[in-house]
Amino acid sequence: MNTDGDAYAAMVQAILVDVYDSAPWTLAQTVSDMNREETNYYLALEANETVIGFLATSIVMDEIEITNLAVSRAYQHQGIASLLLNALLNQDGKFFLEVRNSNQKARQLYEKHGFETYFIRRNYYQNPNEDALLMKREK
């Protein structure tokens, strides 16, 4: 990753800390993920190139898994997550994701964009213990 990439990774990491209060990944893990060949990051930038939101995917053949979607708290409720999703969903393929059962805002966003729950992983998440909903959307 080049210097710009390192700066973007640091901004993505800052969003994770902002949104989750403590990032689920370290900066090194974020950089490593951004460097993987099968991983794509869609970035929402301000005019000064500050990252204010991102969507991360992992692609295997025609299956695209959304691995993370986050928008800085200061920019939430402005349609940025929908813009990021729309940029992704314009592609052909099968789209998958998992989301905490209690994350109503995310579930509503994904349902608004045509995702449907197809499986529940019981007690998948920890701290707190919680089910994961597996969702998919096919064109």
> Could you list the active site residues?
98, 110
- What's CA 18's distance to the chain center, in Å? 14
Instruction: List the one residue out of 130, 101, 127, 24 whose CA is nearest residue 70.
Output: 24
Residues contacting residue 71 through CB under 8 Å, at least 6 positions apart: 15, 19, 44, 52, 53, 80, 81, 84
Instruction: List the one residue out of 28, 31, 36, 26 whose CA is nearest residue 4.
Output: 31
